[in-house]
A and B are shown apart, each in its own frame.
Chain A
Amino acid sequence: MKLGWVDGNFLAESYQEYATASEAGAAGNCPVWFAMAMDLWLEHAV
């Protein structure tokens, strides 16, 4: 999310859909890992 490279709105919506599906016992996916990983990397790479 640093430098505005990720669409925060999309990510938040995606997470809400994932959380709802998980609560209902369904499988889901959410790109939260990629955003977190890039943010960690950007702390030192720029």
Chain B
Amino acid sequence: MEGRFLIIPADRKANMETFRALFDQAIIAATRSPCEVAAQLSGGLDSSAVVYRASELYRTGRLLRPLRAETVGYPGQTECSRQVAAPPPYDLDAARQWCKQTLHLPLTPTILLASCQRLQSEGVGVLLTGEGGDDWLAGRREHWPDLVRHRRWRQLLTEGIAWRPSVPLHRQLKTIAGRALGPLVSAQQRLSFSHKIPVWIDAGWARRIELQDRWQRDSLAVPLPSYAQKQRFQNYHSARRYVNWENILAFAGSHELELRHPFHDLRLTHFLMGADGAYLRHGDESKHLLREAMRGTLPETIRIREGKPNSSPSVVSALAEGFPSAARANCCR
């Protein structure tokens, strides 16, 4: 993907219109299938945008079939309108067997894991996800070093101060300088988040096996004109794809289910690779572009929400019983 392929609208209004048109195109393309198509609905902004916009497209005749939404509830999910039974405990033996048979990492208990077998039995062949929304649309200020390179000081200061207006000015300036200048002068700070070693991995072990170098060597060098674009492109080629996706794709495939991600549509990707960072985040509001595009489509409670219920507490609780003693035993070795 070279710079000449990027779609870069002229202004904020054109930006929004282009995004809407490409998002519609992505949903329409992703729902083409001779099988029944479902969409995984986590309750967050991204998957809700796919489901609600697909519903509008069906009502206006641009989709031939309605999209079926697939969701599960977790304990403690207070906004869930119906009571849900506690899910079965995580089956470690089944996970162990999966690893043995496939040499893939075990799967976290997601909507997919809970639903795959049933979707297959009901003839669903394609499952849409909201994957990519966090990667492309969050607006992580990765464009700030580009503002320095192009001497767009006014925009940098305006965005920096609007980010956390309640923080004292001297701390704001320090943060702006760190985020905008750091990656330009420090190789360590230029590292994509996907290449940084998580704090819970033993530092000595990581050094011994040259983990960071191996992750960096694994990344794909593509000539892109800006720092922001280089960072965004890492989403397609990060080391964590082995953990996040390859095992899930294998599991879905074993149930004859194809996963499709409208936010990873190639035309939408070209647009989002070229998008001005100032449009992706507005002050402290992440996913500004998506939220504005979904005005009138999503219920306001979903459109403005920042988080969503997730399975993490359930997973941790399910594993907790045996964990502390195991951790203590290992850290004393």
B320 interface neighbour in A19, A41, A44, A45, Cβ under 8 Å: A19
Does A37 belong to the interface (CB within 8 Å)? yes
- Residues of B near A1 (CB, < 8 A) are 326-327, 330
- Residues of B near A45 (CB, < 8 A) are 99, 103
Shortest beta-carbon distance, B138 to chain A, in Å? 17
- Residues of B near A22 (CB, < 8 A) are 313, 317
Instruction: Judge whether A15 and B323 touch: CB under 8 Å.
Output: yes
- Residues of B near A19 (CB, < 8 A) are 320
Does B333 belong to the interface (CB within 8 Å)? yes
Complex formed: what's the CA distance from A5 to B205 in Å?
A: 6
Q: Which residue of B lies closest to A27 (CB)?
A: B313
Contacting residues of chain B (247-300) with chain A, CB-CB under 8 angstroms: none
Instruction: Judge whether A7 and B202 touch: CB under 8 Å.
Output: yes
**Digit string of B188-227 for contact with A (CB within 8 Å is 1, else 0)?**
0000000000111111011000000000000000000000
Instruction: Judge whether A41 and B105 touch: CB under 8 Å.
Output: yes
A12 interface neighbour in B99, B105, B327, Cβ under 8 Å: B327
Given A3-B205, A10-B199, A33 contacting B319 (CB threshold 8 A): yes
B106 interface neighbour in A6, A15, A41, Cβ under 8 Å: A41
Report which residue of A7, A12, A19 has the largest number of chain B beta carbons within 10 angstroms of its beta carbon.
A7
**Digit string of A9-34 for contact with B (CB within 8 Å is 1, else 0)?**
11110111011001000011111111
Instruction: Judge whether B106 and A12 touch: CB under 8 Å.
Output: no
Does B238 belong to the interface (CB within 8 Å)? no
| Number of chain B residues whose Cβ lies closer than 8 Å to a Cβ of chain A | 35
Interface of B is mostly: helix
- Residues of A near B100 (CB, < 8 A) are 43-44
Instruction: Judge whether A44 and B202 touch: CB under 8 Å.
Output: no
Shortest beta-carbon distance, B293 to chain A, in Å? 28
| Number of chain A residues whose Cβ lies closer than 8 Å to a Cβ of chain B | 34
Shortest beta-carbon distance, B70 to chain A, in Å? 22
A6 interface neighbour in B105, B201, B324, Cβ under 8 Å: B201
Q: Which residue of A lies closest to B100 (CB)?
A: A44
Shortest beta-carbon distance, B185 to chain A, in Å? 29
A11 interface neighbour in B108, B200, B243, Cβ under 8 Å: B200
Complex formed: what's the CA distance from A42 to B99 in Å?
A: 9
Instruction: Judge whether B327 and A33 touch: CB under 8 Å.
Output: no
Shortest beta-carbon distance, B305 to chain A, in Å? 14
Given A6-B200, A33-B316, A15 contacting B324 (CB threshold 8 A): yes
Shortest beta-carbon distance, B21 to chain A, in Å? 37
B327 interface neighbour in A15, A29, A34, A43, Cβ under 8 Å: A15
- Residues of B near A6 (CB, < 8 A) are 200-202, 330
Instruction: Judge whether B108 and A33 touch: CB under 8 Å.
Output: yes
Shortest beta-carbon distance, A18 to chain B, in Å? 6
- Residues of A near B200 (CB, < 8 A) are 6-7, 10-11, 14, 31, 34-35
**Digit string of B97-124 for contact with A (CB within 8 Å is 1, else 0)?**
0011001111010000000000000000
Does B315 belong to the interface (CB within 8 Å)? yes
Q: Which residue of A lies closest to B313 (CB)?
A: A22
- Residues of A near B320 (CB, < 8 A) are 15, 19, 32
Shortest beta-carbon distance, B73 to chain A, in Å? 17
Interface residues of A (CB under 8 A from B): 1, 3-12, 14-16, 18-19, 22, 27-38, 40-41, 43-45
